[in-house]
Amino acid sequence: MDSTYTRSDSKVEVTGFEARHYDFFMNLITGGTYPLFIRQAVKDMRIQPADSVLDLGSGTGRNIILMNKYLSEEGRVVGLDIGSEMLEQALRRFANHPRVAIEKRRIEEPLPYQDEFNKVFISFVLHGLIQEDRLKVIDNAYRALKPGGEFLILDYNEFDLRRSPWLVRFAFKLECPLATDFIGRNLQAILREQSFDRFRVHKYYFGYVRLLAAHKPA
């Protein structure tokens, strides 16, 4: 299964017109429900006022705006992304912000963080990476977290596409082909193999989307 896909199958590096209007497209394709959904998902992250949060593939920074509402002066967020149009929007949003830093980095490459963050968040990125890179990202998240910290993955849940309603099957025809591979994998088992434990789950959109939180043992 792992050798079926190569990096060229990935569509998760959003560029061009789609990138420049990414937030608008997300609202459009979810029938206007995205703002409510993402507000609830960020609430479910259970961010504490003094938390330090690393957002892997932070996109336009839309989620960081919501996270910031839970942070005090002591909290901070670092957002990493590789897409120039996505980065431009995030950099504009947080120019001179005292508690938010946006950096251009590939999240599957070694990251310069060790035991530094209370939370590592990744939203709708992991499904679009090849399995080898997913494991590298999970490893990076583990290293970046403080002991007792939480890795929060907001993405598609596991489900059987063949038994899903036609609308879901249609949506997956337009999705990155790697998304179909992702929903067939047991993410909790993968995280457990990488030493994470104590999971909690929040579900959205009839259970097709999940926030999976996993602890780095204290």
Ligand X SMILES: C[S@@+](CC[C@H](N)C(=O)[O-])C[C@H]1O[C@@H](n2cnc3c(N)ncnc32)[C@H](O)[C@@H]1O
Binding site for ligand X (CB under 6 A): 12-14, 57-59, 62-63, 80-83, 86, 106-108, 123-125
Beta carbon of residue 94, minimum distance to ligand X (angstroms, whole number): 14
When the beta carbons of 15 and 72 are compared against ligand X, the nearer one is 15
Residue 108 CB partners (closer than 8 Å, separation 6+)? 129, 133, 136, 137, 140
Shortest separation between residue 151's beta carbon and ligand X, angstroms: 14
Comparison of 107 and 145: residue with beta carbon closer to ligand X: 107
Minimum distance of ligand X from residue 217's CB (angstroms)? 26
Asked whether 154 and 125 are in contact (CB, 8 A), the reply is no
Nearer to ligand X, 92 or 198 (CB): 92
Taking alpha carbons only, the member of 128, 158, 156 closest to residue 11 is 128
**Considering beta carbons, is residue 42 or 214 the nearer one to ligand X?**
42
Give backbone dihedrals phi and psi of 21, rounded to 5 degrees, phi first.
-120, 30
Residue 81 CA to its chain's centroid (Å): 11
Residue 145 CB, nearest approach to ligand X (Å): 18
Segment holding 123, helix H or strand E: strand 117-123
